[in-house]
Amino acid sequence: MISDVYQRTYQITGQTTGQLVDFRVSCSNVNGESELSDVLTLYVADKPAAPSTPTETSVHLSDLSKDNVAIQVSWSEPASNGAPITGYQLFMAEEALAYVAVYNGTNRADVLTYTVTSTITKRRSYHFQVLAINAVGSSPLSTP
């Protein structure tokens, strides 16, 4: 029970990572105590760890012109840190240009490979980074 009227947050310690915890709150004043709130269930978790460096494989597709290729990018599932991973985002940079998102798999935790088919040209350098997502937030980007 929190009795400090200025307490805005409360930290609970000693919980096990991955555990679900239910919360209910009530307020009291000179007129008495309110009813309990609805239950809020939260994971004892943190953002996922950064995925490992993605690997790339050049893929030649018959419907692409002879100067164009596709690149298949794969990554491994990182530590979820208590909350299940719900998806991934993949970013690509051409040569020394800025990274841009090429795959938004926010709700696709089962996808660990993506084939980039647009804007890939032979004799150019491409760099990839991936991040993982869970209920708490996004991981740091992987190393390129």
| Locus of tokens 């309990």 | 36
| Mean residue pLDDT across the chain | 85
Domain contains 29:
no
Farthest CA pair distance, the chain: 79
Q: Answer yes or no: is 120 within a domain.
A: yes
The pLDDT confidence band at residue 44, using thresholds 50, 70 and 90, is confident
62-110: per-residue pLDDT in tens?
555 566 678 899 999 999 998 899 999 999 998 888 999 999 999 999 9
Residue 8 in any domain: the answer is no
- Round to whole Å and give the CA distance between 10 and 43: 16
Asked if residues 26 and 3 have their Cβ atoms less than 8 Å apart, the reply is: no
Question: Can you spell out the DSSP letters for 92-129?
Answer: EEETTSPPEEEEEETT-TT--EEEE-SS-BTT--EEEE
Over pLDDT 70: what percentage of the chain?
A: 87
Residue 3 pLDDT level (bands cut at 50, 70, 90): low
> For residue 126, is pLDDT > 60?
yes
Assess if residue 19 is contained within a domain: no
Q: What is the pLDDT of residues 21-39, one digit of tens each?
A: 888 888 888 999 899 999 9
24 part of a folded domain: no
Domain containing 100 equals: 55-134
For 141, other C-beta atoms within 10 Å of its C-beta total 16
Task: Determine what percent of the chain is predicted with pLDDT higher than 90.
Answer: 48
Which pLDDT score is estimated for 60?
A: 61
The pLDDT assigned to 79 comes to: 94
Is 86 within a domain?
A: yes
Q: How many domains does the chain have?
A: 1
53 exposed, middle or buried (CB, 10 Å; 0-12, 13-18, 19+)? middle
70 within a domain of the structure (yes/no): yes
Whether 123 is covered by a domain: the verdict is: yes
CATH number of the domain that residue 121 is part of? 2.60.40.10
Residue 135 DSSP code? S
Single pTM value for the model: 0.73
